[in-house]
């Protein structure tokens, strides 16, 4: 995906603002080009789990759809672990089209942002595919 | 006959439709009929035991069905049922 630097900074700033809890949100755009970041509420509000507020999710997905945009990615943070999908991330990855972006604040001064395509129903070993993120 | 709103994530499973009309007098009957008509939807929203996945939300006219009568919630002509898989995960 192509992610303008200002949007990457917004995602990282959101992760830092919610620390020590995980943050979550959506990235809208066209095709694989991100154009805006939509922060949402983590209804779970813990350092180990995110559940996007369902009403915000519904409203924002409708808004993105109605605007003719694409849901490019769903993002969340890992506050104490690497930017790599956990078992829970894979088990709950219902969405096969948008990418799953993970921001790690494991090393707070060196945040890491990576993107993955997740397929929860695929065989073991084929559920996680990293996708390149071009930040410019 | 209720109208089931299909979010983009499930649209491919129903042949690209944004909404489909499904018969049934309760949320449970509507979902069962939808999954019978479109098995690919069932593969995404049901557990291997055939139960609706814990992280799949259902709304009736914008109200969370779990806060109504869940799968026993009555529905009929003019009602809109929306299926929305949660966006969830986490480090643990």
What average pLDDT score do residues A112-124 get?
Answer: 93
What average pLDDT score do residues B40-51 get?
Answer: 90
Q: Which of B8, B86, B91 sits opposite A92 (nearest CB)?
A: B86
**Is 80 exceeded by the pLDDT of residue B92?**
no
A76-109 confidence digits (pLDDT tens): 999 999 999 999 999 999 998 899 999 999 999 9
In B1-92, the DSSP E strands lie at 2-5, 19-22, 56-60, 63-64, 80-85, 88-89
Question: What are the chain B neighbours of A81 within 8 Å (beta carbons)?
Answer: 91
pLDDT, mean over chain A: 95
In A31-119, the DSSP E strands lie at 33-40, 50-51, 70-78, 99-104, 112-118
pLDDT, mean over chain B: 93
- pLDDT band with cut points at 50, 70 and 90 for residue A62: confident
What average pLDDT score do residues A9-27 get?
Answer: 97
Closest CA to A111 of A103, A119, A123: A103
Please check whether the domain covering A2-135 is classified as CATH 3.40.140.10.
yes
Please report the pLDDT score of residue B6 as a whole number: 92
Q: How far from each other are the two terminal CA atoms of chain B, in whole angstroms?
A: 42
Strand partners, A135: A3
Q: Does B63 touch chain A (CB under 8 A)?
A: no
Q: Where are the domains of chain A?
A: 2-135
Please report the pLDDT score of residue A89 as a whole number: 97
- pLDDT band with cut points at 50, 70 and 90 for residue A65: confident
Q: Does A14 touch chain B (CB under 8 A)?
A: no
Measure CA A67 to chain center.
Answer: 20
Please report the pLDDT score of residue A85 as a whole number: 97
Q: CA geometry: angle at A121 spanning B45 and B71, to 5°?
A: 10
Q: Where are the domains of chain B?
A: 2-85
Q: Comparing A33 with A61, which gets the higher pLDDT?
A: A33
**Is 90 exceeded by the pLDDT of residue B48?**
no
Cβ of A80 and B59 within 8 Å?
no
In angstroms, the separation between the Cα of residue A32 and the nearest Cα of chain B is 16
**Is 80 exceeded by the pLDDT of residue A24?**
yes
Greatest mean pLDDT range, A3-12, A51-60, B41-50: A3-12
| CATH fold of B2-85 | Ubiquitin-like (UB roll) (3.10.20)
Closest CA to A101 of A126, A133, A124: A133
What average pLDDT score do residues B13-35 get?
Answer: 94
Q: Does B50 touch chain A (CB under 8 A)?
A: no
Q: Does A135 touch chain B (CB under 8 A)?
A: no
Please report the pLDDT score of residue B90 as a whole number: 86
Please report the pLDDT score of residue B8 as a whole number: 82
């Amino acid at each position: 995906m192509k992610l303008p630097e200002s949007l990457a900074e917004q995602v990282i700033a959101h992760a830092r603002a919610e620390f020590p809890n995980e943050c979550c949100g959506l990235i809208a755009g066209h095709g694989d080009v991100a154009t805006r970041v939509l922060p949402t509420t983590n209804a779970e509000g813990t350092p180990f789990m995110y559940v996007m507020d369902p009403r915000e999710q519904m409203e924002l997905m409708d808004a993105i759809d109605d605007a003719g945009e694409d849901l490019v990615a769903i993002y969340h943070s890992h506050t104490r672990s690497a930017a790599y999908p956990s078992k829970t991330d894979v088990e709950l990855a219902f969405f096969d089209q948008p990418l799953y972006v993970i921001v790690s604040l494991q090393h707070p001064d060196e945040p890491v942002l990576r993107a993955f395509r997740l397929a929860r129903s695929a065989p073991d070993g084929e559920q996680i595919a990293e996708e390149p993120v071009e930040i410019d | 006959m209720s109208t089931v709103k299909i979010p983009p994530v499930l649209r491919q499973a129903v042949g690209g439709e944004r909404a489909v009309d499904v018969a049934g007098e309760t949320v449970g009957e509507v979902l069962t009929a939808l999954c019978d008509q479109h098995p690919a939807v069932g593969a995404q929203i049901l557990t291997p035991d055939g139960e609706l996945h814990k992280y799949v939300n259902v709304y009736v006219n914008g109200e969370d069905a779990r806060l109504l009568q869940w799968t026993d919630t009555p529905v009929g002509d003019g009602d809109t049922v929306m299926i929305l898989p949660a966006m969830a995960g986490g480090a643990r």
